[in-house]
Chain A
Amino acid sequence: MAALTMYPESERLSAGERAAFNLYMISAVILFVLMMLLGVIMRMAQGTWLEVPPDLFYQFLSMHGAGMVGTMGMVTTAVMWFFLRKYVNLHLWAFVANYVLFLLGALCIIGAIFLGRYAGLWTFLYPLPTHSMGMWPNASGAWFMIGYLLIGVGMLLFYLDAAAGLIRKYGNLGRSLGVQWLFGGTIDPEHPKAVVASTMVIIANSLGILAGAVVLVMYLVGIAYPEFKLDPLVAKNLTYWFGHMYINATIYMGVIAVYELLARYSGRPYAISRPFLWSWAASTIFVIIVFPHHLLMDYAQPRWVSITGQIISYSAGFPVFLVTVWGALANIHRSGMRWTMPSRLLILSMFGWAAGILPAILDGTISINRVMHNTQWVPGHFHFYLLLGVLPMALALMYHVMGSYRNQAPNSGADRLGLPLYLLGGLVFTLAFLAAGHLSVARRMSSHLPEWVFTDQMGAAGAILVLLAMIYFAARISIGLLRGPVSGHAAHAAA
């Protein structure tokens, strides 16, 4: 079976593709290091090891949030592109246009924050960006949102190009998602899981981007014409719809790396199945309507919306999550897995996703949400799955591509040291968040009660370990990718 070739010819990167891939991946690891540095500073400030004035803290928090979410979106887009291009015709211009628009958007956001003092966080609550009480000029809020719009347009271009490729090959998006096999029929065993996952992401995230395109422009109109007052609850719903979809899409793009690579390292085929198709079809719908679970604390929200949010949040992540983790476990069980960096990272990502979803589901329960939806539990949950779940998926692909250049999976001593450091730091860091969230109700970022300082310091210590490991990964990956294929290994020699 072709999938078991470790470095198939179809994944070879031409010179142009390699340049684009390197731009994405090296920008991403550098951005991750910088954003983690901000994270370390904030945790140290909360742990009273550093003095950071509150206005600067919120600027850092805005930068860290927007920067991490955006970079996560960018790097997982590259994962999707890397594998999807094997199955359908993707145009390099769309992939590069997304990168260029991402960078332009990032510049707007960085300028808005560090030149314009914007500090309204990555998902802002109406009317915050426009009513800063003098903390930052309205123009900063506007630039921040223009940055988002540029990033959204870039993603939409990439998705549309991918949709065109999928439709050309499979007829329509329903068929590439596999709905024709839900109720019977013989599933094409060669139907790529990457195609199914990509279809889901295109549908769901385009919808989120559309919602963002509406609400962000309305915010901009509101800056120019303050007499236009939006319904704050509608604005919040749309903002979270867009934000929720964007960050969730990173999981579903990142997991393509697991589907594609795991079987190669375990040496055992990872077949597509009807439950697999059902789970992706169901999650396509659920992920679109689950966002109200971010608004369980909004008493003005109609009751039925909150209850739907709770029910769906139980079921939304579950199908894909169960089928993926179960499938991955079955795939590696007694398989004689080759333990190298890519495979370790893939397994770590499965653990991070699996463990990270539990706090999410707890928080998606209305009665728990009322006390634990606070400034520690929520970051605890999303750092868990992003840091230990999604980021390792992307790192696995980067290491895999480095391996393809030398026809040997990377597994140096430093790698073997860096990964446990990352895991240990990540666990300490996220568990400190979760412990603090469990201990306290509705904490404020700006206050440091003595009872809270211990977990903050633990978190800071963990974050420093993660940062050290990430600095190593960033250097190793940048050098490895830039060095390119070793001549003689034909598989990935530049075209």
Chain B
Amino acid sequence: MIAGSVAASLVLASPPARGWLESSMSAQMLLQLPLLAAIGVCSASAIPAAVRGALARWDRWGISGLLLASMTSLVWMLPRALDAAVDDVGVAAAKYATVPLLIGLPLALSWGRAGFVLRGVFLAETIATCFRLGWLYRVSPERLCSNYLLDDQQRLGDWLMVIGAALFLALMGKLLLGRFDFRTDAQAQEGRH
């Protein structure tokens, strides 16, 4: 699994893939960053149980992990950071390392520990952020990233709003009509002792 994750990261970091994924703002934010985070999510299963147990003691209710993922995401939402990741090899390396390890991985490890309320706050904030960023990209009269064109930025704004709306509808559908399994909560309760 680790090998697979490393291989996937290398594929994404290869010049052709990187060139394509960073050719537009939309591709970088909607494909590259999510794919990197997904690599982190997938590598969670490779973490040995002993390490997981140790981590769990520092991550009650998943708070630390979700906080880490949120803070890291905040950094990679800065237009300046997106620019720098294209122009500067060091920042690019930081992106390839931190998005899987500090966003994807903690999300995967902490989600199961998080209770209903924390998950709800996290999802609501994710949806709201999609709408806020989308709205900003739509109305900004200037290019926020020096490396990308204005129409690209506006298209990304549209996409973010569509994604926000889709997430919202999915969440509402789940809450209103879905099936819920509270076993994860029970596990979290056991984990406390």
- A–B contact (CB under 8 angstroms): yes
Q: A172 and B120: CB pair below 8 A?
A: no
On chain A, the residues within 8 Å of B58 by CB distance are: none
Q: How far is the CB of B174 from chain A (nearest CB, A)?
A: 8
Partner of A157, one of B121, B141, B142: B121
- Across-interface contacts of B120 in A (CB, < 8 A): 156, 160, 163-164
Given A210-B124, A228-B139, check contact A157 B117 (CB 8 Å): yes
A contacts with B, residue count (CB < 8 A): 29
By beta carbon, the residue of chain B nearest A231 is B139
Q: Across the two chains, which residue of chain B brings its CB closest to A284?
A: B176
How many whole Å from B125's CB to the nearest CB in chain A? 8
Interface residues on B, range: 20 to 34
Interface of B is mostly: helix
Tell me whether B116 and A214 are in contact (CB under 8 A): no
Instruction: Pick the residue among A94, A168, A214 that contacts B128 (CB under 8 A).
Output: A214
The answer to whether the Cβ of B178 comes within 8 Å of any Cβ in the partner chain is: yes
Is B136's CB within 8 Å of the partner chain A? yes
Q: Decide if B139 touches A221 in the complex (CB within 8 Å).
A: no
Indicate whether A172 sits within 8 Å of B178 (C-beta atoms), given known contacts A156-B121, A161-B117: yes
Q: Is the CB of A164 within 8 A of B116?
A: yes
- A221 partner residues in chain B, CB cutoff 8 A: 132, 136
Q: Does A203 contact B (CB under 8 A)?
A: yes
CB distance from B61 to the nearest CB of A (A): 11
Residue numbers in A under 8 Å from B96 (CB-CB): none
List 27 interface pairs A-B (beta carbons < 8 Å), by A numbering.
A153-B121, A157-B121, A163-B116, A164-B115, A164-B120, A167-B116, A167-B175, A171-B179, A172-B177, A172-B178, A172-B180, A203-B172, A203-B175, A203-B176, A206-B124, A210-B127, A210-B168, A213-B124, A213-B128, A214-B128, A214-B131, A217-B128, A218-B132, A227-B140, A227-B141, A230-B139, A231-B139
Chain A positions near chain B (C-beta within 8 angstroms): 94, 153, 156-157, 160-161, 163-164, 167-168, 171-174, 177, 179, 203, 206, 210, 213-214, 217-218, 221, 227-231
Could you list 8 further interchain pairs (A-B, Cβ under 8 angstroms) beyond the known A203-B175, A214-B132?
A156-B120, A161-B116, A167-B175, A172-B176, A172-B179, A174-B176, A179-B176, A213-B128
